[in-house]
Chains A and B, each alone.
Chain A
Amino acid sequence: MRVYADNAATTKMSRASIEAMNDAVENCWGNPSSLHSIGQHAAERLQKAREDIAEVLGCSPKEIYFTSGGSEADNQAIISAARIGERKGKKHIVSTAFEHHAVLHTLKKLEKEGFEIDLLDVKNNANITPEQVKNAIRDDTCLVTVMYANNEVGSILPIAEIGKICREKGVIFHTDAVQAAGHLHINVADECIDMLSLSAHKFHGPKGVGVLYARKGIPLTVLIEGGAQERGKRAGTENLPAIIGMAAALKEANENLDANAAKMTKLRDKLIDGLSKIPHSALNGTRENRLPGNVNFLFEGIEGESLLLLLDDRGICASSGSACTSGSLDPSHVLLAIGRPHEIAHGSLRLSLSEWNTEEEIDYMLEQIPQVVTYLRNMSPLWREKVSGEKEFEI
């Protein structure tokens, strides 16, 4: 059996998205900036995609900017807010300790320029409270950037409450919604979101395309110069097939959102319940406020990469927060941020589901994973020391 359980990394494209994209490749190859009919046909399709996406997010098509993906959108949103703040002498930014690196590295860059960055603690329930944001905002805060949902441990953050606080305080609010778009109901107007990033390949769309939503009146800083595309804010001939594929995928995901979430939640909970039976294991993150498809477990006494490789041999595609999978010595910054110590964070496994996973696949994983964990534990000197009582168990 082959089980794909790494949907937080990327998803398989949906039939609707592939067909929309193929059709655009073949029949809509014009440059939307051209004045002739072939170009104008492409411009119409581009506009239609923009409208479809705006409708899902609850904004105006004029507030949608197409980018190369979530990372570019995050970069542009944060840099733009920083430049706006800078002009008013505001150089303080509030974010969280477990953001994606597209956010954290951009903030690091700004820190070197003299911005002050406050990363809110996420140790309590792998989440933040609206009060933490409220308390962190200062007179010179120019931006609050908080992810909609965490990519590793699945936490869903209190976005609407944070948005309200930011709106009241007059601070720009950006959210990295890469893991949320197509999976959770988002309405940028209702949730007082000023800027939002999303990426198509997390909801069965193509890779290399994403969206930056920026509320009307927020002047964006141009990162890529060279043309009048995207109302002068993002140069480069539009990746029309990918944009059309993204719009089709998002529309479809949104239409089936509740049914998909119900299905995934059921599978997720079954997986969590089953894995909980493995001794000295623990769920990373909480059961509540969790993305429907996210399962992240920690198994004491083993290391994640060897677990992944052996699971791959048995047809299970997953991911890990272990250092060895990242090429560094530190385990995932997310696991450390939620309070997992270095010593055991290496033994984590993320299984991220989609609505295409089946009950049989969950059963198969619940049969295979405990076997592989036991096999690796029997080879681990650390496990032996814990079992014999020389060292204490952490969980």
Chain B
Amino acid sequence: MIANLVGVLFDGIAYGALLFLIAIGLSVTMGLMNFVNLAHGAFAMLGGYATVVLMTRFNVPFLAALPVAFVVAALAGAALERLLYRRLYQASHLDQVLFSIGLTFMAIAAATYVWGPGLQPVELPPFLTGQVKVLGLELGAYRIFLVALVIVITLGLVFLVERTRFGAQVRASVDSQQAAAGLGIDVNRVFSLTFALGSGLAGLGGALGIEVLGLDPTFPVKYMVYFLLVVAVGGAGAIKGALAAALILGIFDVAGKYFVPGVGAFVIYVLMVVLLILFPAGLYGRRG
């Protein structure tokens, strides 16, 4: 029973780690540009499809496809930011919501047109499949890989934000765009780079998530709620908050589906309502 519990807990953590990886970009764009981007899942989907195409058409190994997924999604994010998103930073939230729903619809239709409506398969390398015995517990090898990778990326992100010049510029821009611009920080460049980085991470998350979340054209809508939840519960623009929120959601979702399958999907929604009532501005939110 205890081993079972730990197994579920670990699955939940792996799931949460994946959510965090995808949603962190959304959290940052929301905190930095105050932009409600419902199309964020589309970048994750793009990363996923890039991986599938590379692996099935060009026989690229899974691990080598991951960085490409990151780059493809980051480039798409950078291009869209330059062309479209930038025009709407000052627009109302309603306009942003509509715009990003429109983009999501286009992404879904395009993906259906190119790859068909079915679930995409992914063949993991042998060392990432099966179970591994850790301290007497049977844990999924891929889950361990996921958690380890996300830990590394999170540490990298924290380093980037807290220790580098670019990170300082990002933090300054989050706190006050005007003051940051007044100090000579190129806020537009910070926005573009951050948006590209966030999209890239989403693409990487989408590639890693094919095995866990599944990949089909409805992906951006199916998981939109989860990504938004991470941001709303964690508080926009806070790495710590997003991480905590993603882990809480991941663990509760997996545990709910495992222990009480009859009410599985309710657990997460009820949890969300409770968390939002308790913390209207998010766990670590600075803005309402």
- State yes or no: do A and B come from one complex: no
